[in-house]
Amino acid sequence: MADVLVILNPVAGNARPERVYPALTRHLARASYEVYETTGEEDLPTLVRERRAQGFGTFVAIGGDGTVRAVAAGLVGSQACLGIVPAGTSNLLAHDAGIPERLDAALALIAGGGPIMRLDAMQIGETFAFLNVSLGLSVGVLRDADPQRKRKLGRLAYLWSGIKNLAAVGVQTAHLSIDGVRHDLRATEVLVTNCPSLGAPELSLSGEVRMGDGRIEIVTFRTRHLVDYLSILLDLALRRPRQRRNVRTFDVFSHVIIETDAPTQVQVDGDLIGATPVTVRVVPGAVRLIAPRAARRRPLTGRPEAF
Ligand SMILES: [Mg+2]
């Protein structure tokens, strides 16, 4: 195993340095490794790129989705490998990639060096995202998703904040240019996603959405009434595949340009980055991720079901 840089977020929800260090000694003793503890002040993607140039070949992110995304962003297009030890309050990327939650199991997988999944990325300007980009209802839900309430109520927190936002978010016309083909539609939500989980592992698209198949998916909803919202949420929570009149799905192989009549806030992997218009590019196989679930490719003609 090439030199390993372990990037530990010591304040991540479930990272306990007093447990992490002995576990690193147990599992990585045969490799040459170094630990970098994040402060929250650094530009992590740049740090990772610098360390790559110094010869580190494996980067282990110990933290939540924020840490993982920043480390992954620094690895885009390189031959270096990413290992993940899930330690955040949200570990969606690790969850969707099938990475074990337990510290020892996650480190044993990394120490074994494989299998490798070629994780796709989404590029928005200079930013790389790995989970989802969205506008509409989800942005309001994200804006007031209070971590404390989320911990206490679990998925009910989304229900609460969805109901609250439903009244505020109007149906609007979105103009999507998908790989050069234009679609105009009425939507309360436009979601561009690289992975099945939507903000919580309990809310998940069908297994057809894969993180390493060289394409991203777009799901648009039109929910004018509370009952629409509740039934979509219920389908997601129960993982019920269903074709709905008010839900549309599209595959994106190269890029999508999203425009709306009025500028609308956009979130990228949980951060509010600005407003429409936004262009999302697919970067296929951007990062070599150590994950137990090998990326199966879907047939090119296959259409994902709605949910
Ligand atoms: Mg995909």
* Per-residue confidence (pLDDT) for residue 301, from 0 to 100: 43
**132 CA to centre of ligand 1 in angstroms:** 11
Q: Which residues surround ligand 1, an ion (CB under 5 A)?
A: 210, 213, 215
**95 CA to centre of ligand 1 in angstroms:** 15
> Are 160 and 265 members of one domain?
yes
Within a domain: 45: yes
* Per-residue confidence (pLDDT) for residue 67, from 0 to 100: 95
Could you give the C-alpha distances from 48 to 6, 75, 138, in angstroms and in order?
11, 7, 31
At 145-199, the pLDDT tens digits run: 666 666 665 656 666 666 666 666 677 899 999 999 999 999 888 999 998 877 6
**152 CA to centre of ligand 1 in angstroms:** 32
* Per-residue confidence (pLDDT) for residue 196, from 0 to 100: 81
Rounded Cα gap, residues 178 and 88, in angstroms: 34
**161 CA to centre of ligand 1 in angstroms:** 28
Per DSSP bridges, beta strands 33-37 and 4-8 are: parallel
Within a domain: 302: no
> Are 241 and 200 members of one domain?
yes
> Are 257 and 141 members of one domain?
yes
Within a domain: 293: no
What are the backbone angles phi and psi of residue 92, rounded to the nearest 5°?
-65, -45
Within a domain: 296: no
Low-confidence ranges of the chain (pLDDT < 70): 1-2, 143-169, 199-209, 236-244, 293-307
> Are 106 and 157 members of one domain?
no
